[in-house]
Amino acid sequence: MKKSSTDGKTWSFSIFRTDISQYCVYEEGCLVKTVSSLQNYGRQPSAASGPWSDMVCFYLGCSFGFEGKLKKAGVPVRNVEQGRNISMYRTAVGCFPAGKFSCPLVVTMRPIPAALLDAAVEVTHLNPLAHGAPKSWHTLDECDLSRPDYGEQVELQPGDVPVFWACGVTAIEAILSSKPRLAFSHSPGCMFLTDIPDTPSSPLTPPSDSLEPQHTKVSHNPLLYSLASQAAVAKIRQLETVIGEDPGERGIRALFVQDELLRSCLALSHSSSVAITTGFPTHYMHSPPDETDGPPGAIAMATMLLSLGKKVTMLTDRRAVEMNQAIIDEAVRNGVLKAAIPLVTFEDSGPDAALHFLCHHGDASKPRYDHLVAIERSGRASDGNYYNMRGINIKHLVDPIDNLFIAAKDIPGITTTGIGDGGNELGMGKVKDKVINLMPKGSLIACDVPADFAITAGVSNWGGYAVACGLYLLHTCPSHQRYLKKGLGLEPVTPQDQLQDWTANLPSVDKEESFLSTLVKFGIRSGKTAHLAMEVDGLTFHPTHSDIISRLLEVTQRSTTL
């Protein structure tokens, strides 16, 4: 709301009864007519109309207010080009109720060329009184773009992305739901115009460039973009650089894809239910055959996701259920894992087994999980076998969890992440060609099953730590939090106790050392050497792993320079 009035006027020039070209008149929450002036209601008060002294006028910001700036920035305004009113849609997103007012959010949609999305954000986020930055960058599930609830259909041009902003027509929905005896509003598209020049920003001090939001495309099906500040994005990229170090000289840098960590963290931030799987039985001659890389990173992600209010499920092989349940229980007792999480297995019992595992009642429109994460999980090669880095087939020790990632590709709403350090891990099929051409025994061991996001790291655990840190950065980023909340409510301020909980659930040297000692106690060995010792992939916890963890935390908790 820009301003309110209780005397029929606001500022020195506005008379709300005549300054709008067309008004809507509502009685008992029903639209009864449209008129060009409200003067008659003032001159001939009736029992229905009531005295003006009982009326309050609200002036709401409008996204039309930034269209001139969009054009100046080179962003086409399609509704103007097409000579149409803007498209407005009633969503299933409920506004925060206030008294008897409770209604769904109404949004406007503007088609924006994909190459100009950041320009649109840059222009609009500095205009919070005109609804600010976008609320959504994808087709809202409940919105049929061909059938706007208000206004007219605006056509997307090739390469356009539908971008949604909040709309002042939400106030009409508030009138319809609260059913006042008498109420008036502007007719959608017939706005109140002032002669006050637009300000370059809000009355508040414009934010630092480092806090300016920028967009990232997260997924194509469904189409999903997200927002985060430049500062948060820069820090996540620093995390990606740290975990890309290769002290074991495995050549992992050859598999690196820029911003896979960022996209994975954004997708996880938008998720509500996550399944995590790990387990690489490389030591087939030992019992247990598992290695110390994978479980620490999986638990680090799980505890941060729990702290953020997500549902988390751990997925393991049937042969390892008892051991992994005991490990989870001890992690909870030692404060490494925030709370107990379900431990499940998958059995390929038929052609629809994966669909029924992933979705309620096998209905692809009702996914049980919206994100699958595999970290240091043995991945299926093109010949159907599973190989360790030495080229030994360990298929007899691996359940076909790969089938879930394959099935997820055809289920809108489920995204997948693979974290690996050699190219034979589940999800690394996304970089299969690089693995074949650049990694030792690549043509044999390369995983054939891709994930939407393939995070590579010098040690896979580091990728899990970085995801946990990246999620913390996003949830302490005001731009991202506003986007998650679709702009509803006041500017997000994280309660101190919640921030403390998030901080406490970041990975730490003490927690990771404790958890590694738990794995060793259960007979789990270092991947490269098979040593039953405090090491992962042949690298001792001190100083190698402890140093990486400390540096990740330093990046995460370092204050942003304003």
Q: Which two tokens stand for residue 498?
A: 């919640």
Confidence (pLDDT) at 560:
56
Q: CB–CB of 358/380 below 8 Å?
A: no
Question: 10 Å Cβ neighbour count for 560?
Answer: 16
Q: Where in the chain is the domain with CATH 3.90.1640.20?
A: 213-557
Q: What is the DSSP letter of 427?
A: B
Confidence (pLDDT) at 83:
95
DSSP line for 160-220:
EEEEEEE-TTHHHHHHHHH--SEEEEEPTT-----SSPPPSS-SSPPPPGGG-EEEEEEET
Q: CB–CB of 375/421 below 8 Å?
A: no
* Helix/strand number for the chain, H first, E second: 18, 21
CATH topology of domain 213-557: inorganic pyrophosphatase (n-terminal core) (3.90.1640)
**Strands of the 104-113 sheet, one edge to the other:** 150-151, 87-94, 104-113, 160-166
Confidence (pLDDT) at 492:
63
| SS3 state at 30 | strand
Give the Å distances, CA to CA, from 434 to 153, 172, 263, 375, 441. Answer: 45, 56, 20, 19, 12
Q: Which two tokens stand for residue 243?
A: 């975990």
Q: Which two tokens stand for residue 402?
A: 């790969």
Say how far apart CA 436 and CA 423 lie, in whole Å: 9
Confidence (pLDDT) at 197:
64
Q: CB–CB of 288/320 below 8 Å?
A: yes
Confidence (pLDDT) at 10:
46
Q: Which amino acid is at 456?
A: T
DSSP line for 125-176:
TT-GGGT-S-SBSS--TT--TTS-SEE---PPPTTEEEEEEE-TTHHHHHHH
Confidence (pLDDT) at 69:
87
Contacts of 437 (CB under 8 A, 6+ apart): none
Say how far apart CA 329 and CA 318 lie, in whole Å: 17
Model pTM? 0.89
Confidence (pLDDT) at 303:
99
Rg (CA), the chain: 28
Buried b (16+ CB within 10 A) or exposed e, 374-410: bbbbbbbbeeeebbbbeeebbeebbbbbbbbbbbbee
Those residues of the chain that have pLDDT short of 70 are 1-15, 42-52, 129, 137-142, 195-210, 489-492, 560-562
Q: Where in the chain is the domain with CATH 3.30.2040.10?
A: 3-186
Say how far apart CA 473 and CA 200 lie, in whole Å: 29
For residue range 141-175, list pLDDT tens digits in order.
Answer: 557 889 999 999 999 999 999 999 888 899 999 99
List, in sequence order, every residue forming a beta bridge with 216; answer none if it has no partner.
226
Q: Which two tokens stand for residue 270?
A: 């938008």
In 271-424, which ranges are continuous DSSP H helix? Answer: 295-307, 321-333, 353-358, 402-408
Q: CB–CB of 434/428 below 8 Å?
A: no
Backbone dihedral region for residue 287 (phi beyond 0: left; psi -120 to 50: alpha; all else: beta): beta
Question: 10 Å Cβ neighbour count for 546?
Answer: 16
Phi/psi of residue 313, nearest 5 degrees: -125, 140
Backbone dihedral region for residue 150 (phi beyond 0: left; psi -120 to 50: alpha; all else: beta): beta
Instruction: Work out whether strand 224-229 and strand 213-219 pair parallel, antiparallel, or are unpaired.
Output: antiparallel
DSSP line for 372-407:
EEEEEEB-BBTTS-BB-TT--B-GGG---THHHHHH
Q: Is the peptide bond before 288 cis (omega within 30 degrees of 0)?
A: yes
CATH topology of domain 3-186: PSTPO5379-like fold (3.30.2040)
Say how far apart CA 338 and CA 247 lie, in whole Å: 31
Buried b (16+ CB within 10 A) or exposed e, 193-202: eeeeeeeeee
Confidence (pLDDT) at 42:
61
Q: CB–CB of 120/466 below 8 Å?
A: no
